[in-house]
Amino acid sequence: MPVSRHSSRRAPLTGSFLDQRLQGAIGYDRIAGYFRSSVFEVAGEAFEAVQGPIRIVCNSGLDAADVTTARATAQAQRAEWCEGDPEHMTEAQRPRYQRLAQILRSGRVKVRVLPDASFGLIHGKAGVIRYPASRATSFIGSMNETREGWTQHYELLWEDDTPDAVRWVQEEFDALWEHRDARDLSEAIVADVERILARVVVPVADWKSRSLQEPQAPFVEAPVERRAVGLAPHQKAFVSAVMKEIETFGTARFLLADDVGLGKTVQLGMAAELIALAAQKPVLVLAPKNLLIQWQGELRDMLAAPSARWEAGNWVTEDGAVWPGPVGKCPRRIGLFPTSLITAGSEAAQPLLDMRFACIVLDEAHRARQSRALGSDPAPNILLDFMLRLASRTETLLLGTATPIQTHREELFDLLRLLATGCERVLGGAFSPWHGPGMAMDLVSGHEVPTDPAIIWSWLRSPLPPRGEDQLTDRIRDELGMPARVWSAPFDADRQLSASVQTAIEFEGTQALREHNPFVRHVIKRRRRDLRHPDGSPYFPEIGIRLHGERPDDALAMPPNMEGAYEDAREFCTLVGRIHPSAGLLKTLLLRRIGSSLHAGLRTAEKLLERERRDEAVAEEEEDLTRDERGLTFGPEEAAVLRRAAQRLRDAGNDDPKLVQILHRLRRDGWRDRGCILFSQYKDTALWTARQLSAAFPLEPIGLYAGAGDTMVMLNGVRHPATRQEIQLKVRDRSLRILTATDAASEGLNLQRLQTLINIDLPWNPARLEQRKGRIERIGQEAPVIDILNLRYRGSVEDDVHAALSDRLRQIRDVFGTIPDTLEDVWVKAAQGQLEDAKRRIDEVPRTHPFELRYASPAVAEDWARSSRVLDRADVAAVLRQPW
């Protein structure tokens, strides 16, 4: 037949064309458009009339890098699907959803998605319909993917059944269908359509009675599950464990010590939100001041949970509103309070000790520990002392840290002791041997293995493991008639046990202690390498790390003027240390800044010379300075050294070898194309680097993240203010490939699209290097290997420490998985020329981990992504906006 022309002005296209042409067809290949709307479009076509295969190819905004593996493809497709808010289905749309679920689940319809980044946005809409006896027809036109496109919009369609036309359209379809980046539509989307059809929105008040059985309800449609990379099994497992403990015992006590990058904040935040919704008492989150904004941002952006943080004598809510105190009148159910006020002994923290809480979360919990100075008895530091008084005033206590052990193995015991305060089931009764830190750590670490039945019983009886955890202790509970919530058996109760149980204690008790002791029960530490799918494959593919700049000759030679200024800085450090022995950080400040960059060194020298601007010079380190340090003045000899250093740095201009090395990596080694984040401790260095990179790459957006008010995107030297969320989104969609940042970005930002990292300077707190790396070595990183370049100047303090201590630090990292942040004083000793003292200090760190738990992939009873019962988001927000 000749070419057939169709117009929606003359007749509806669905009735006049597709419904007729699909009758008696034995095959149907269709080029559609955008997959989110295309799958609804094809659901309206008369597939029942087609006897053979039906294939649909459509496009999406996925990046080709998102389809490297089946799991990555499914994750990326689901994230894009969720962006369309499909859960907001109307009743009028329900028949289309039902039909879509039916045809996709039947297997008769195959859909493939092709990233438009690979082929270009699919605007051409066409298809081939085949019939028996080798008959076929083809069509091409302007049809939209919505139902309205077929029924309401003005659309044109040309049909041609000549062999050349059919062959031509078939070739176009095959080119798309067989493209190397084309991927089958994810099963996750089919499952989500079915979930939406069964979806029930539940008010918080109705959910409360079932909250412990339905911990997933607040999170099934939370942004973290629908917008981000999705919740990982280990994250869901932690929340389920907390709620199970509360269901069983009325309280939960856990130390969450996961590796960096496994999402501790979101896990603790989910538990806090659940408890805030289910309980009447307040929820308190304690964290360092610099992490409170991150906490509030993740609660808001990941969990859609309102909160308020304490700042400068006021509560500041998630929307920026300021509510005057007092502390005990937080305007949100979840309150965030800085631990710095506790450690400073501020009166603002005291009202917390008079309150009762449903849950307290302590982030960076390793800061609460005992002081174990040589020659003195251990004594709780200010934070631990405060927490020991506060812990008994909360029903649930959750601690978070990636480094529960800093330098002494007993620091882990300090945290267990904190969990045990007000909760006998953690370490047992007052006379339990678990209250002795040395003996407890010896037993947990395997240094002491009791074999005498009487000694085994003394450890086993209090706390006796809860019912259902171990067969031996279940038998003990049964024979002694111990209720579920009684934790200590009498000292001589072993004599009442049957002979068979006494024999079992002798031969099985040691294993029970090893596998069911308080540390195993209350410390949750998952390592990236140990988390696996049910099929045994790693949940997080092992990310290789290539370190650059580690060889001794990789240190960068300073230009002559800069080298002279650095020697002046050493002299300044010595002078300040001699006159003000307790000056601490201030005496090494200039050395730190010159070690960062020539520009930062000059700025610092100039600021220190101006008495009235001294506070600006040290503002970035304010929390680390004492009140006395901020008030120090310099004598004429110190000022002369500062002036000489400043002049030498001015004479050096922009001749900074670090900039040369950075440009070399970005240009020649392709790090710009792979995405790169450049970290510095100091805003001066980060901003100066951003300016230099914008001049070198005038058409390339250069991001700067330096905390609230100092975040921007620079293009050809022009600054454009940006928010933290905008930076993260630009990195995610790859419109921002180069980002300079201070350590304000080393916590909380998810930047896994970037595959390379440059440490412009090496922080004297080595734990920050791990935090920086954790921005890209995290869930969702698609590169099998990330590259990290560490820059340092030859002859600097950083170079001295690297040469003398790098092997020791590497050993510690292998043991702990990170570097304890208490090793900062190693750098201070090196700056003062005390390298031997520095070596002795680092050798005090244990060489073997006092305990190691290996977790398989934690099982979750229910697949949250398929859960149909969800909480009303407006109702959730209303409940969480209730004041204390």
Domains and CATH numbers, the chain: 4-195 (3.30.870.10), 418-524 (no CATH), 547-552+656-843 (3.40.50.300), 560-652 (no CATH)
Distance, CA of 146 to CA of 137 (rounded, Å): 23
Residue 28: the pLDDT is 93
Give Cα separations from 510 to 123, 445, 505, 557 (angstroms): 69, 13, 8, 58
Burial zone of 601 (CB within 10 Å; 0-12 exposed, 13-18 middle, 19+ buried): buried
Count of beta carbons in the 10 Å neighbourhood of residue 869: 16
Q: Assign residue 811 a region: left if phi > 0, alpha if psi is -120 to 50, beta otherwise?
A: alpha
Residue 408: the pLDDT is 65
Residue 210 has pLDDT above 70, yes or no: yes
Mean predicted confidence (pLDDT) in 131-144 = 85
CB distance 327 to 352 below 8 Å: yes
Residue type, 687: L
And the tokens for 152?
């309401």
C-alpha gyration radius of the chain: 32
Poorest-confidence range of 136-140, 214-218, 369-373, 846-850?
A: 846-850
Give 466-496 pLDDT, tens digit per residue: 998 889 999 999 999 999 889 999 999 999 9
Give 831-860 pLDDT, tens digit per residue: 556 666 666 655 555 444 444 433 333 444
**386: closest CA among 245, 267, 284?**
284
CB distance 742 to 778 below 8 Å: no
Q: Which residue has the tokens 């959730």?
A: 876
Mean predicted confidence (pLDDT) in 612-635 = 44
CB distance 137 to 159 below 8 Å: yes
And the tokens for 344?
């400073």
And the tokens for 2?
């000749």
Banded pLDDT at 514 (limits 50, 70, 90): confident
CA angle 816, 821, 822 (to 5 degrees): 105
What are the backbone dihedrals phi and psi of residue 683, each rounded to the nearest 5 degrees, phi first? -65, -35
Distance, CA of 270 to CA of 681 (rounded, Å): 31
Banded pLDDT at 638 (limits 50, 70, 90): confident
Residue 798: the pLDDT is 77
CB distance 830 to 838 below 8 Å: yes
Q: Name 396's Cβ contacts closer than 8 Å, sequence gap at least 6.
A: 242, 245, 246, 251, 252, 253, 271, 275, 358, 359, 360
Residue 14: the pLDDT is 58
Banded pLDDT at 498 (limits 50, 70, 90): very high
**526: closest CA among 847, 261, 230?**
261
Residue 23 has pLDDT above 70, yes or no: yes
